[in-house]
Amino acid sequence: MGMTDFDETPRHAPADPIGPVTDPTAHAAAFRAAFASGSSAVIDRFYEPGALLIPGRGESRSGQAERASAYDHLLGFGVPMLTETRHLHVAGDIALSIVDWSMRGTARQGFPLDLHGVSADVLRRGSDGRWRYVIDNPFGTTA
């Protein structure tokens, strides 16, 4: 190329936003990164549109707005979430993910926070190859 010629092709693609992964073993860590973003909209990328969130005993939320309401409450504490996958069982395009999670520390409101549980979640691989929640049950059998 001469001095007046230039290549407009980007040298690299911009980094993908935080979102669902193609490897189900990476799902919990990717979700943790979404939580750390502080955005319920980013968290909701990990859900199918009709997915169900079970935030507590006898409760269920579906749809982006209802799930966002539940996550905005947790995000308001300003405490990071830790996750560790205990078991992952994959059958074709469906997976059962059992994850230990915790949020421990001082909430931004000044009080000590100790939330934890063992989630029992159902994931599905979409047509794009990415795994998303169909059912997110953060308290497993206690909910």
pLDDT tier at 5, thresholds 50, 70, 90? very low
Sequence spans of domains, the chain? 24-142
pLDDT at residue 4 above 80? no
Cα distance between residue 100 and residue 31, in whole Å: 13
pLDDT tier at 142, thresholds 50, 70, 90? confident
User: pLDDT digits over 74-91, tens only?
Assistant: 999 999 999 999 999 999
CATH number of 24-142: 3.10.450.50
pLDDT at residue 14, as a whole number: 40
On average, the pLDDT of the chain sits at 89
pLDDT tier at 141, thresholds 50, 70, 90? confident
pTM reported for the whole predicted model: 0.84
pLDDT at residue 8 above 50? no
User: pLDDT digits over 24-83, tens only?
Assistant: 999 999 999 999 999 999 999 999 999 999 998 889 999 999 999 999 999 999 999 999
47-53 and 82-91 as β-strands: parallel, antiparallel, unpaired? unpaired
Helix (H) or strand (E) holding 136: strand 131-136
Show contacts of 131-134: CB within 8 Å, 24+ apart: 131/20, 131/21, 131/22, 131/23, 131/24, 131/27, 131/95, 132/20, 132/46, 132/47, 132/48, 132/51, 133/46, 133/47, 133/48, 133/51, 133/53, 134/48, 134/51, 134/52, 134/94
pLDDT at residue 1, as a whole number: 41
pLDDT at residue 143, as a whole number: 59
